[in-house]
Amino acid sequence: MGSSSAPSACRPAHDLWALGILYLTIALLFHDLPGGFWHGDDTAILIHALDAPGLSAFLEPEVWRKLSPSNLTPWLSFSFKVDLWLGGPDPRTFYMHQLVSLGLLVTGVYGLGRLWMPAAWTLFFTLLFLAGAPTDAVVGALMTRHYLEGLLFAVLSVIAFVLAERRQLPGGLILSGLFYALATTAKEVYVPLPLILLLMPTASPVRQRLAALIPFGVIGGLYILWRRYMLGDLIGGYTPTESGTLLQPLLDALGVFSGFPAFLFGPAWALPTGVLAALLAFVLVQRPRTIPLALALLLGVLGPMLPLTRFPGISGPDRYLFLLWFCLCLCVALACMHAVRALPLRGPGKALTALVLALTALLPSAATGHALAESRKKGSASFDVQGRFISSASEAVAFIPSQEILGSYWFFTSLCELKQRTGSGCPHPVIRGVPVQKPVHQLFKFNPQRGVMEDVSARLEEEMRLHRETDVTRPLSARFTLEHGRIHWALGPYDTGTYYIASDELGRYALPSKGTLRSAISGQSFYVQYESPEGWLSTSPQLHLRAGQVLSWERPPRAQ
């Protein structure tokens, strides 16, 4: 990045054409989004938005922690409140809001790029960002809107800051600080933004830049106090940091980070990664003033991901890579532009080189984004079909939730709560290894091949036998503690296979054999399950965990 503005020969028509291409791309990629139903955590956030009065999610810890004791993102609940005010609990209103937010973000991203690049390179930068898999993951889920709108606020903050500095507009700094404050309420990953603003190459004196950033320092200090008050902790993530365990998590994180190129560029990641890494290295050598900024980006973007590599893990191009992808796209576009300008080429040769470099990054990222979009649509279909079934079915029927529902089970429990508030009952879930609470006469199951809820009552006995079939004689052990807002557990004795926590309230989701999680609950009843690589299932009796108590249970090996 340089301190100079965009080329003086600015042609508004070029910008209008570029924005038109970007909006058309949005329509092509996400035209089917408004037809979706609630997914994942959407219904839990919806309940929170309905129940949290006014701005209490920003101000009252006990209100916010009902949604999350691990992260402080009250803007998400507020954003859902806006949609409830506009159209009630209709998912179409929420998805239209999602697309409007994306359109605003794309406009802001394009405007940010134009601060340093001509229209063609800015179009490449924005298209690359829009076509990437992390962008699809965030836009395709209502529950990740805070990443989307948080980035919008961060981008607007940078634009206002740069324009205020170039044109000596104090009001621009106030606007920039306001947008920064909003970004911090959306997602913690945007908190390090002032470090980026400090280290951006500029022609202004260091003292002037530091003075301009004083309001940001005040906002950052207030954020720390606010976060401590709301969460009782300064470190984010689902897993609290434990003393004496820094080295191993860091090594684990490095292993996860090494998979990022494949996540972003797919199976053919080696070529674009090698080319783009060479271009970035070339620019850093040619422009050493940008090295502090590059290091700050690495620290500011990768640092907040460290807790996430432990739990829930980063195993694909999901929302956790969204900010990283944005920063990478901007750096790649700037590096390609500077490298092409440095080449001793003229006319068509330079244009062809620019096109080849752009396609080297754009094609594999777009292919990976398309593959993720297809996978997302399949997962969305599971939520769409089962969610609409849950909304319309009576309490007289039962159903077997798919793994997508079991892994995001408060989707079901929150959707049921919404129904119960209108006086309707919910179908009863049948979960493997969990005793059924009432007789089942009619049973439904999601058929992923046909994309429908299938009535399997004709084979009711067989289906129920499969879900009751569990071993209660094999060795199994569990130890849990719940204290100071943290759950600690150790499960055994097996080193392979998968452990599960299961109940009618929690669903059925996998756990590592040992771990720690933040939690706002005061107690919980559940079953511990172990599924072997051979397929047999062992289940504990129902266990009851209470705050301040140690839950220890073991089924020893049978005597020979």
Whether residue 312 is preceded by a cis peptide bond, meaning omega within 30 degrees of 0, is: yes
Strand partners, 480: 489, 551
DSSP string, 199-257: HS--SS-HHHHHHHTHHHHHHHHHHHHHHHHHHS-S--SSS---TT-SHHHHHHHHHHH
**Domain final residue pick, 378, 409, 435:** 378
Q: What pLDDT is attached to residue 208?
A: 85
Q: What pLDDT is attached to residue 2?
A: 46
Q: What pLDDT is attached to residue 544?
A: 95
**Domain final residue pick, 355, 378, 401:** 378
Q: What is the pLDDT of residues 116-164, one digit of tens each?
A: 999 999 999 999 999 999 999 999 999 999 999 999 999 999 999 999 9
**399 and 534 share a domain?**
no
pLDDT mean over 26-40: 94
Q: What pLDDT is attached to residue 169?
A: 83
Average pLDDT, whole number, for the chain? 89
**273 and 406 share a domain?**
no
**67 and 103 share a domain?**
yes
Name the pLDDT band for 522 (thresholds 50, 70, 90): confident
Q: What is the pLDDT of residues 464-501, one digit of tens each?
A: 998 888 999 999 999 999 987 789 999 999 999 999 99
> What is the Cβ-side half-sphere exposure of residue 523, based on CA atoms within 13 angstroms?
10
Q: What are phi and psi of 555, to 5 degrees?
A: -115, 105
**283 and 134 share a domain?**
yes
Q: What is the pLDDT of residues 362-419, one digit of tens each?
A: 999 999 999 999 988 888 999 999 999 999 999 999 999 998 899 889 999 999 999 9
Structure tokens at 140: 């395709």
Which CATH number do you get for residue 528?
2.60.40
Q: Residue 462 sits in which domain range?
A: 393-466
**202 and 148 share a domain?**
yes
Angle at 72 between CA 67 and CA 75, to 5 degrees: 85
Strand partners, 509: 501
**498 and 354 share a domain?**
no
Q: What pLDDT is attached to residue 243?
A: 47
**130 and 233 share a domain?**
yes
Whether residue 118 is preceded by a cis peptide bond, meaning omega within 30 degrees of 0, is: no
Q: How many domains does the chain have?
A: 3
The whole-angstrom separation of Cα 105 and Cα 152 is: 5
**447 and 540 share a domain?**
no
Percent of the chain whose predicted confidence (pLDDT) is above 90:
66
Q: What is the pLDDT of residues 239-290, one digit of tens each?
A: 555 544 555 566 667 777 888 899 899 998 999 999 999 999 998 998 888 8
The whole-angstrom separation of Cα 384 and Cα 35 is: 9
**434 and 484 share a domain?**
no
pLDDT at 6 over 50: no
Q: What is the pLDDT of residues 131-140, one digit of tens each?
A: 999 999 999 9
Q: What is the pLDDT of residues 289-325, one digit of tens each?
A: 888 888 888 888 887 777 776 666 777 888 999 999 9
